[in-house]
Amino acid sequence: MTSAPSNGPSDSDSSGTAPCTFPGNLSTLAVHAGEDRQKPTHSLTDPIVCASTYSFANTQAVIDYIRNKERRGEYGRYGSPNEWAVEKKLAALEGGEEAIVYASGMAAIVGLLMAKLSAGDEVVFFDECYHRSREFCTKHLSRYGVVTHQVRACDYDAMERAIGPKTKLLVSESPTNPHLSVVDLERFAGLGRKHGVDTLIDATLATPYNLRPLAFGVDYVLHSATKYLGGHNDLLAGAIIGSAAKLQEVRKLRGILGGINSAHNLYLLERGLKTFELRMERHNRNGQAVAEFLANHPRVEKVLYPGLPTHPGHELAKRQMRGFGGLITFMVKDADWRATADVVDRARIARIAPSLGGVESLIEQPLVMSYFEVPVEDRKRFGIPDNMIRLACGIEDTQDLIDDLAQALQG
Amino acid sequence: MSGERHAFRTRAIHVGNERDPATGAIVPPIHVASTFVLPGAGEPSEFDYSRTGTPTRQRLETTVASLEGGCGALAYASGMAATHGAMLLLKHGDHVIAGTDIYGGTYRLLHKVLVSSGISVTLADTRSPEALEAARRPETKLLWLESPGNPLLSITDLAPCVAWAHQHGMLVGVDNTFASPVLTRPLELGADIVMHSATKYLGGHSDALGGILVVRDPELHRRLHYLQNAVGNVLGPWDSYLIQRGIKTLELRVREQCRTAQRLAEFLASHPRIERTLYPGLPQHPGHDIATRQMDGGYGAMISFEVAGDFAAAKRVVEGTELFQLAVSLGAVESLIEQPASMSHASYDRADRLKHGIRDSLVRLSVGLEAFEDLRDDLDQALRKI
Ligand SMILES: Cc1ncc(COP(=O)(O)O)c(C=O)c1O
Ligand SMILES: Cc1ncc(COP(=O)(O)O)c(C=O)c1O
């Protein structure tokens, strides 16, 4: 990495090259941040500490621990050495004060919402989002007396109108899943500041390589670390990054709800993060090249990818992001659901599976994978046409991916 | 996915990683079973006992065989176990020629262990056809090569060595650890056996020991497998998994590490506190032209240099870095630094070291994935401590 990443807020007079807000170079942080330089037994890599509980030398040590609130192992649900290492690494990569790691992205979302919202509170979110996040808000938060307002993605006026005296949190993804809409983080964070409401961005699709929401004044960044952060399709994890003050209650609640990770899982996540920069560079490159290929393909009706000049959020994305990731959504021309499924079925490199962000490319038809039992009018409302395909580019050779899609589209 | 038509990088991810038919899992399960239930007494089965083979080890072997262009591979508990696995082909009375610039552990295996089985060894400068010819005996059965060499980064022109050895009925083994299959694929140059310390670039994360042999000839594979099963120095399932996971980013890592190493070598070559920088990517390196031909788009991520000073000066440098950690081994995401005279080659006596060109002032770097600027600044501040 040689140049400062342009993924902080842009100075009004600069030409889009934002100040480097990293305390070090990203790749160096990915390898080293969060780890003690000298480890127990001097091993180069962190040991996997599987203990469910931690012992004290004597009663006085217990009392000292309770009084001084020093960070050490007590009981596994409250934290572990492997967790601290990953949390510090993620906080460093994101440029945040603190990170909390969860058993999955959903556990992280739920953990934050449960910690921040009480009966009578209201939450406003942009409607393009991971369908389970929406489902938790509309079906479950409501059971606890929390009111959810959904407004159209990127309609900032609608969001502002929905903010009332009881509103506690504004939520969005950026880019959104699966539509890849780009949220103007300055405006979004500005709305929160103006009305004294916290803001949360699920930046799973962007990752801190491409976007650093905290630098725009967003309060919480959320990741499904299952995706790019872990990067190898072999673990589930989630994370929230923000200020220590705002996260204090969130961490306490996690200790009660118990959505923590095993030490093995955390080790794999830490290991995955070591190649984070390289993988992201490659995901970005594959995403851009494949999106351009698809945009010029006669059998493709439309491509949603923020890196394409035709994308409505392209200018904003260029200002706000360093690259555009590996996820591409496209519509097959004159295809019904079956003809679209045939394209998916013909792919030989990308495998049919939900998820994204791993080294292996994945392909799916949102209608079938996530919205199969959703009524057609709701699918319309959420913008899920029958001929939509979501492709998560891995880090395979670019030309291999393009050749494979070419034959899949050819039929 | 047979994947023969796919690029290296695509094969590294997919060959040997086919979806699990039993569960659909995108990443194949880790099979930890030590034994397998048989269909019937005396009936053959793909797997029976895990020393002979396991699905997890076999997947790794399939991947590496594809990357090296071999017909099959065998995974061992460590690089040394793999080298020993190849040497088990030898018998009492046989003779081996190995390079002078080889890994110290291989030197030790040949000189201190195999000798007691009546196997003799001659070290020769494998860059010189005359030296090779002078070392040859009628009973020479194996030529063992390493390029780039360790720790002097000497470059051996593999193809002519292989041709010469085959002409005289020898098998040729190449320790390809330093180059990795990203840069050099010795089987394509005619070698019979490729060996890797998978502990290094293949695994790539300093967290697994392993070794691999890859061959072109199914009969040789069968023989080596027989010996491996008989001796039992196999790779366990957890390490097989971690190494296989590492291989998915192998090409990205190695290419990036090469790019950073090239820039660091250029920086070091013009540094006032450094007498000599040994890196095949520098035009003044004697093996530069051969390396350009033999190594695919990069010169590796190992650099050695001699500081302007004595043993103590080099010691101060290796102890004075912050990002480069003081440790033996190499090939991982973390950058490492060491002084061969006091660490990796301390088992040679000093006179022997000097004979092999390993001076007290020599420092060896393994360049990791950190940013070039950070590594350069770190070396610069350490060199100022001389
Ligand atoms: C944008 C986004 N947020 C959250 C999640 C939920 O994360 P997880 O599957 O790790 O629970 C996902 C993925 O499934 C996602 O794509
Ligand atoms: C070139 C080379 N060959 C072989 C080995 C031995 O491998 P291992 O340490 O995995 O036994 C090493 C590593 O130390 C090495 O650097």
Mean per-residue pLDDT over chain A, rounded: 92
- For B262-311, the DSSP string reads HHHHHHHHT-TTEEEEE-TTSTTSTTHHHHHHHSSS---SEEEEEESS-H
Segment B313-324 shows an average pLDDT of 96
Q: Does the pLDDT at position A22 exceed 80?
A: no
Ligand 1 pocket mutation pick from A101, A177, A221, A269 by most atoms within 8 angstroms of CB: A177
What's the angle, vertex CA A126, arms to CA A122 and CA A128, rounded to 5?
Answer: 135
Query: Closest ligand 2 atom to the C-alpha of B178?
Result: 1
User: Which residue, among A177, A78, A227, A159, has the nearest Cα to A390 in the 3D structure?
Assistant: A177
Please tell me the distance in Å from A369's CA to the nearest CA on chain B.
Answer: 15
The residue extents of the domains of chain B are: 8-247, 251-383
Instruction: Point out which residues pair with A172 in neighbouring strands.
Output: A201
Q: Does the pLDDT at position A397 exceed 60?
A: yes
Instruction: Decide the pairing of beta strands A362-364 and A351-352.
Output: parallel
The verdict on the CB of residue A293 being under 6 Å from ligand 1 is: no
Q: Is A2 on the interface with B (CB under 8 A)?
A: yes
**Complex ipTM over 0.90:** no
pLDDT tens by residue, B214-253: 999 999 999 999 999 999 999 999 999 999 999 999 999 9
Q: Does the pLDDT at position A14 exceed 50?
A: no
Ligand 1 center to A106 CA (angstroms): 6
Q: Does the pLDDT at position B349 exceed 90?
A: no
Q: Does the pLDDT at position A16 exceed 80?
A: no
Which residues does A94 contact at the CB level (< 8 Å), separation at least 6?
A208, A212, A214, A221, A241
Ligand 2 center to B328 CA (angstroms): 10
In chain A, positions 249-308, which contact chain B (CB-CB < 8 Å)?
271, 274-275, 277-279, 282
Q: What pLDDT score was predicted for residue B22?
A: 85
Contact B244, B195 (CB under 8 A): no
Q: What is the pTM of this model?
A: 0.91
What phi and psi, each to the nearest 5 degrees, are found at residue A209?
-65, -40
CB contact under 8 A, B374 and A25: yes
Asked about B112 being catalytic, the answer comes back as no
Q: Three-state SS for B151? A: coil
Q: What pLDDT score was predicted for residue B42?
A: 85
pLDDT tens by residue, A87-131: 999 999 999 999 999 999 999 999 999 999 999 999 999 998 888
> H-helix or E-strand containing B355?
helix B350-355
Give CA–CA dist A97/A106, Å, rounded: 22
A interface mutation test: which of B207, B321, B367 has the most A CBs within 10 A? B207
pLDDT tens by residue, A319-371: 999 999 999 999 999 999 999 999 999 999 999 999 999 999 999 999 999 99
Ligand 2 pocket mutation pick from B200, B329, B338 by most atoms within 8 angstroms of CB: B200
CB contact under 8 A, B248 and A359: yes
| Residues in B touching A232 (Cβ below 8 Å) | 27, 245, 248
Q: Is B23 on the interface with A (CB under 8 A)?
A: no
Q: What pLDDT score was predicted for residue B318?
A: 97
A277-410 maps to which CATH number?
3.90.1150.10
Give CA–CA dist B367/B302, Å, rounded: 6
Q: What pLDDT score was predicted for residue B3?
A: 57
Contact B152, B145 (CB under 8 A): no
Segment A366-381 shows an average pLDDT of 93
- Give the percent of chain B with pLDDT over 90: 90
Contact A175, A206 (CB under 8 A): yes
pLDDT tens by residue, A194-224: 999 999 999 999 999 999 999 999 999 999 9
pLDDT tens by residue, A220-239: 999 999 999 999 999 999 99
Pick the CATH number of B251-383 from 3.40.640.10, 2.60.40.1120, 1.10.3720.10, 3.90.1150.10: 3.90.1150.10
pLDDT tens by residue, A77-88: 999 999 999 999
The verdict on the CB of residue A386 being under 6 Å from ligand 1 is: no
CB contact under 8 A, B256 and A274: no
Contact A102, A240 (CB under 8 A): yes
User: Which residue, among B257, B168, B164, has the nearest Cα to B204 in the 3D structure?
Assistant: B257
Ligand closest in space to the Cα of B201:
2
The verdict on the CB of residue A236 being under 6 Å from ligand 1 is: yes
pLDDT tens by residue, A245-284: 999 999 999 999 999 999 999 999 999 999 999 999 999 9
Please tell me the distance in Å from B239's CA to the nearest CA on chain A.
Answer: 13
pLDDT tens by residue, B183-208: 999 999 999 999 999 999 999 999 99
CB contact under 8 A, B206 and A394: no
CB contact under 8 A, A26 and B371: yes
Contact A383, A352 (CB under 8 A): no
Q: Does the pLDDT at position A7 exceed 60?
A: no
Mean per-residue pLDDT over chain B, rounded: 95
The verdict on the CB of residue A202 being under 6 Å from ligand 1 is: yes
Give CA–CA dist B382/A30, Å, rounded: 23
Ligand closest in space to the Cα of A353:
1
Instruction: Decide the pairing of beta strands B193-197 and B211-215.
Output: antiparallel
Contact A190, A217 (CB under 8 A): yes
For A361, what's the count of Cα atoms within 13 Å in the CB-facing half-sphere?
32
Ligand 2 center to A127 CA (angstroms): 55
Q: What pLDDT score was predicted for residue A3?
A: 37
Query: Max Cα separation, chain B?
Result: 73
Please tell me the distance in Å from B256's CA to the nearest CA on chain A.
Answer: 8
Ligand 1 center to A218 CA (angstroms): 19
Q: Does the pLDDT at position A52 exceed 80?
A: yes
Instruction: Point out which residues pair with B185 in neighbouring strands.
Output: none
Segment B45-56 shows an average pLDDT of 94
- In angstroms, the Cα distances linking A267 to A27, A102, A400, B57, B93 are 18, 14, 31, 21, 48
What's the angle, vertex CA A258, arms to CA A255 and CA A263, rounded to 5?
Answer: 95
Q: What pLDDT score was predicted for residue B348?
A: 79
Please tell me the distance in Å from A242's CA to the nearest CA on chain B.
Answer: 25
CB contact under 8 A, A232 and B206: no
- The catalytic position among B59, B141, B185, B200 is B200
Q: pLDDT band at A15, cuts 50/70/90?
A: very low
Query: Closest ligand 1 atom to the C-alpha of A205?
Result: 1
B8-247 maps to which CATH number?
3.40.640.10
User: Which residue, among B135, B70, B130, B82, has the nearest Cα to B109 in the 3D structure?
Assistant: B82
Contact A362, A178 (CB under 8 A): no
Which residues does A213 contact at the CB level (< 8 Å), separation at least 6?
A174, A185, A189, A201, A203, A221
A interface mutation test: which of B13, B18, B259 has the most A CBs within 10 A? B13
Ligand closest in space to the Cα of B109:
2
Ligand 1 center to A152 CA (angstroms): 20
Of B259 and A134, more confident: B259
Question: Which residues have C-beta atoms less than 6 Å from ligand 2?
Answer: B 78-80, 103, 105, 146, 150, 175, 177-178, 197, 199, 209, 211, 329
Q: Does the pLDDT at position B18 exceed 50?
A: yes
Q: Is A193 on the interface with B (CB under 8 A)?
A: no
> H-helix or E-strand containing B326?
strand B325-326
Q: What pLDDT score was predicted for residue A24?
A: 65
Give the nearest chain A residue to B378 (CA atoms).
A28
Q: Is A362 on the interface with B (CB under 8 A)?
A: yes
CB count, 10 Å around CB of A36?
11
Q: Does the pLDDT at position B99 exceed 90?
A: yes
Give the nearest chain B residue to A29 (CA atoms).
B370
Ligand 1 center to B286 CA (angstroms): 53
- CATH 3.90.1150.10 range(s) for chain A read 277-410
Instruction: Name the closest-CA residue to atom 14, ligand 1.
Output: A355
Query: Closest ligand 2 atom to the C-alpha of B344?
Result: 14
Token pair for residue A333? 């021309």
Q: Does the pLDDT at position B4 exceed 90?
A: no
Query: Closest ligand 1 atom to the C-alpha of A237?
Result: 10
Segment B8-15 shows an average pLDDT of 97
Instruction: Point out which residues pair with B124 in neighbouring strands.
Output: B99
Ligand 2 center to B122 CA (angstroms): 20
The fold of A11-273 is Aspartate Aminotransferase; domain 2 (3.40.640)
The verdict on the CB of residue A204 being under 6 Å from ligand 1 is: yes
Give CA–CA dist B51/B49, Å, rounded: 6
